Amino acid sequence: MSPEAYTEMADVESRHWWFVGRRAILTCLLEDLRLPPDATVLEIGAGTGGNLIMLSRFGQVSAMEMDSNAREIATKKTGGRFDIRAGYCPEKIPFANEKFDLICLFDVLEHIEDDQGTLNAIGQMLSERGRVVLTVPAYQWLWSFHDEFLHHKRRYSRMELLRRTDQAGFQLVRLSYFNTLLFPLAVLARIKDRLVGGNKASGTGTPPALVNALFTRLFSAERFILGGMDLPFGVSLLAVMQKKGS
């Protein structure tokens, strides 16, 4: 990600509808995993630390982040509570010799050139009954300046993500699209970006308070739907994985 994107993330991730809604969805998803009370948790690509407090509900949290400015922000934001180390995937993972009960990559894999190598490396760090939870942007046809601004390498289809996780030795426990209720608005925003152009993508920055509150409520509400079923389409994909045969 660009330095500007990290600065913006630090400023808005506590209140922007997308970050707030995603945390609500992920919290419910993680609760359903019924991890052991002493679970070891690793977030890869922790950014400016917006998920660390949430993850601490589920065990002892460590984190990896390649950007020094983001690590500094995350450390200050969380009062130095967490072990946040420098590193990048797949070549330099500082926790490579440790085992974790939960490994999280929240909108991280799409930034990594060698995504297959990264999934392979993560498999070596997962405990026998551990879980990997990841989210990625969906549909390459939705590619826009928004992805370029965030330094994405790709967007994923369901089948592409399934193929890569299978090659890494994972068995999918859950694979679903999400950010479905706001999908039509996202498509329109991407079309607008393509037609109008410019140097700033739609969806950056926090919208007006009423709009932000409405989008937060709509997006967060998907946690109730995902509690009982997978969603057939959406702006993003989420996956829960375990080792094959575990």
At 63-113, the pLDDT tens digits run 999 999 999 999 999 999 999 999 999 999 999 899 999 999 999 999 999
**Structural domain boundaries, residue 61:** 3-243
Cα–Cα distance measured from residue 227 to residue 142, given in angstroms and rounded to the nearest whole number: 26
Mapped onto helix, strand or coil, the DSSP state of residue 84 is strand
Taking residues 228-239, what's their average pLDDT? 97
pLDDT over threshold 80, residue 3? no
pLDDT over threshold 70, residue 1? no
Q: What was the pLDDT predicted at 5?
A: 66
Range with the poorest average pLDDT among 49-58, 66-75, 162-171: 66-75
In the chain, which ranges are E strands?
40-44, 60-64, 83-85, 100-106, 126-137, 170-178, 236-243
Q: Which residue has the tokens 């329109």?
A: 188
pTM score, whole prediction: 0.93
pLDDT band at 202 (very low <50, low <70, confident <90, very high): low
Q: What was the pLDDT predicted at 67?
A: 92
Closest C-alpha to 60, from 83, 39, 31, 35? 39
pLDDT over threshold 60, residue 203? no
Sequence-separated (6 or more) residues with CB below 8 Å from residue 222 = 21, 25, 178, 179, 180, 181, 231
* Total number of domains constituting the chain: 1
Q: What was the pLDDT predicted at 165?
A: 96
Output the domain CATH number for residue 98.
3.40.50.150
Taking residues 110-132, what's their average pLDDT? 97
Q: What was the pLDDT predicted at 201?
A: 55
